[in-house]
Amino acid sequence: MNRALWHEVGRELAPFDGRLGTAWRISVICSLATLAFMTWQIPLAAIGCYLVLFVMKPDPGESTLMAIGICILVSTVVALLVWLTQLSIDIPALRLFVLASASFIFMYLASASKLGPAGNIIALVIAFIMTLLGSAPFGEVATRGILYAWLMTLIPMGLLIACNMAFGRSAPSLLTAELARRIRLAEDILAGTQPPASARQALHEGGAPVASYLQFISIFHLLPTTEIHRLRTRHEHMLQLLMLATRLPDPTDDATALSDTTQAAAVRREIQTGLNQLDAPVPQGPPEPHSGFFRADALSNPEHYRFALKTTLAASLAYITYTALDWQDIHTAMVTCYVAALGSTGETLHKLTLRIVGCLIGAAMGIASILFLIPYMTSIGELMLLVFAGILVAGWVSSGSERIAYAGVQIGLAFLLTVLQGFGPDVEISVATDRVAGILLGNALLYLIFTRIWPISSLEMARAGLAEVREKLQVYGKNAQKLQTLAPSQAANLLGALGGVREQLVMRRFEPRTLHTDPHEATQLQQTLNDYELRCISAALDPQWATPPATEAPLHTSLATPILSRPTS
C-alpha cells in the first residue's frame, strides 16, 4: 500500500513539458509582487502572492482571462464596499451581516454559475475587508484599508497578465504542440508502439485544453481567421482518429487480440487515411443547447444554496473565534474556509488532506528560512530570492494534476505567510506558528461542517454528473434526430464531463464510512460511466465504426437508467 502510494506521488511529481516553465513564471511573479508590496509598504503581501498560485494555470490564456475578470470584479466590488464601510464601521453586528451576506452570494455564484473559482476569491476579498474594519478607528483609515485590499488583488493580477504576455508560452504554440502530441499518439498506436488504451486515456482529458487555446486566440486575434479555422478542423480530425483508435484490439489482452482482424485492419486503414487528410472538411454536429451564465439547475438544486451556506458558516465561525480570542494572527482560518471548500465531502476532504500536508511542508520551509537564512538578509532583493526559491518548489507541485496541485498551492501559502510578515526580512517565529495554527483551525471547521451538515457524497455528485451527460445526449439526439452526427469536439466535451464523474468516484475513498450506504452503487455507477463513454465515442464515428468490440460491455438500451433516477438531495 505504502509502495503504491509513493509510486503515485512520484508519478505526480515527475517532470513534463511546460511544468518547469509554469513553476518559474509563478516564482518570478511572486518575487516581483514581493518587491512591489515591500517598496510601497502595502500590507497583505502573502495573500497577494498566494492569489498568483491560485490563479496561475499551465494554460496562460485561461490564467490571463481569469486575472482580467478578477480585476474587473474586485474593482466593482471595492467601489460598493467604500459605501458599505461608512454604514457598518461602527456596528460590529452589521459588519458581520455584510460579511455573511456577500460571502453567501458569491459562494452561491461560484457553485451555480460560470463565475466558478473567481467567486471564492471575491468572497475572500470582501470578507477580509470587513474583518479589517474592526481595527479601523475611523472612516478614513477604513477606506485606506479597502484600497490596500484592492491593491492586494490588482498588483499580483497585473503582474500575472504582464508576465504571461511577455514570457508565457503563446497560445498558438501551445495549441500546435498539443495537436502534434495527439498526432504522434495516433501514429504510435498505428505502429503498435502504444496500446489502443492510450487513446482512451487521452480522450479522458476532453477537448477543454484545445478549446481554451482556440478561445484565447480568437478573442485576442492572435492568428488569422482562416488559420484558426484550419487548426480547429485539425483538432476535430484528431479527436475523431483517437476515438477510432479505441476500436482497435489491445495486443496485450489475449481476449481482444483474437477479435475480428478484418475490422481491425479496416480501422487502421481509416486512421492512416485520416492522418493524411487532417485539413479535410469535418461534418458539423447538432446545434449546441443554449448555455447562459447560470447553470440549468441554479434555482432548482438546493445544493448550491447549501454549499454557499456551509462555507459562509465556517468562515463566520472562524472570524468570530479569532475575534473573540483577540488573536488576529490566526486570521488564516477564514482564508482556509474560502479556498478549501468544494462540492462533495470527498472532494473537500481530499483538498483538506492536501492542504494539511502542504501546510506542514510550507511551514517547515518557512521556519527553516527564519532560523537559518533571514537573519543574514539585509535587503528586499535577498528576500525576493528567497521567495523565488520557495515558490519554485510550490509552483512545481501546483502545476501538476488536480490530484496533487492543491498541495503546491498550500505549500506556497504557508511559506509566504511565514516569511512575508512585515515590509522586509523578519524573524518573528510566533507569527509564523500562529498563522499555521489558523490554517489548521480552518481545516477543522470545514471538516466538521461539511461532514455533519448536509453532507454530499461523491456518489451523489457522480449521479448528478451522469444525469447532466444523459440530458445533453438527449438534447443532441432531439436536435439531430440521430445521435451518430455529433461533432468530435462535442463528444470530447461529454467525455471530459465523464472524466469529472470518474474523479468523484476516486474521491469516494476520502469520505467517512457513514456516507457509504450502498456497497454496490459505486460499481453500478462505474458501469453506467463506461456505457456512456462508449456511447459518446460511437456518436462521433460513422455508423460502420460505431459498434463497440464484442468484448466490451453492451450499451444501455435507454439512457434513463434506474440508478440515475434517484434524488440527489
Q: What is the pLDDT of residues 49-71, one digit of tens each?
A: 888 988 888 778 888 888 998 88
Taking residues 144-172, what's their average pLDDT?
Answer: 86
Residue 224 identity? P
* pLDDT level of residue 137 (50, 70, 90 thresholds): low
The residues pairing with 113 across neighbouring beta strands, listed in sequence order, are: 294
Percent of the chain whose pLDDT exceeds 70: 85
Length of the chain: 569
Beta strand segments in 479-550, E:
none
Task: Mark 144-172 as b/e (b = at least 16 C-beta within 10 Å).
Answer: ebbebbbbbbbbbbbbbbebbeeebbbbb
Q: What is the pLDDT of residues 483-504, one digit of tens each?
A: 457 888 888 889 988 988 888 8
Distance (Å) of CA 340 to CA 224, 264, 533: 41, 47, 30
Specify the range with the lowest mean pLDDT, choosing from 72-81, 318-327, 472-481: 472-481
- 275 pLDDT band, cuts 50/70/90, is confident
Cell numbers for 153:
488583488
| Secondary structure of residue 411 in the 3-state scheme | helix
Instruction: Please determine, for residue 264, whether its predicted confidence score (pLDDT) is greater than 50.
Output: yes
Burial 42-58 (b: 16+ CB within 10 A, else e): bbbbbbbbbbbbbbbbb
**Minimum mean pLDDT range among 15-19, 101-105, 210-214, 514-518:** 514-518
Using alpha carbons, select from 161, 119, 126 the residue that is nearest to residue 33: 161
Average pLDDT, the chain: 81
Using only C-alpha atoms, what is the Rg of the chain? 25
Residue 345 predicted with pLDDT over 90: no
Please name the residue ranges forming H helices in 373-487: 380-398, 405-419, 429-452, 458-480
Name residue, grid cell 456505457: 531
CA 128 to chain centre: 23
d(CA 26, CA 138): 37
> What CA–CA distances, in Å, run from 423 to 38, 179, 283, 384, 402?
5, 46, 60, 12, 34
Q: Which DSSP string do the residues of 219-261 spell out, in sequence order?
A: HTT-S-HHHHHHHHHHHHHHHHHHHHHTTSPPTT-HHHHTS-H
Of 117 and 463, the one with more pLDDT: 463
Q: Is the pLDDT of residue 398 over 70?
A: yes
The pLDDT assigned to 558 comes to 37
Residue 438, classified by CB atoms within 10 Å of its CB into exposed (0-12), middle (13-18) or buried (19+), is buried
Mean pLDDT of the region 503-527: 78
With a CB cutoff of 8 Å and minimum separation 6, the contacts of 393 are 365, 408, 411
> CA 68 to CA 48: how far, in whole Å?
15
**Which of 494-498, 510-514, 536-540 shows the lowest mean pLDDT across its residues?**
510-514
Tell me: pLDDT of 94 over 60.
yes
Contact between 433 and 41 under an 8 Å Cβ cutoff? The reply is no
Q: How large is the average pLDDT for residues 149-162?
A: 90
3-state SS string for 22-36: HHHHHHHHHHHHHHH
Tell me what the mean pLDDT of segment 418-443 comes to: 79
Helices of type H across 512-552 = 521-539
Return the higher-pLDDT residue of 234 and 520.
234
pLDDT at 133: 67
Q: How many helices (H) and strands (E) does the chain have?
A: 22, 0
Highest mean pLDDT among 91-105, 365-379, 515-529: 365-379
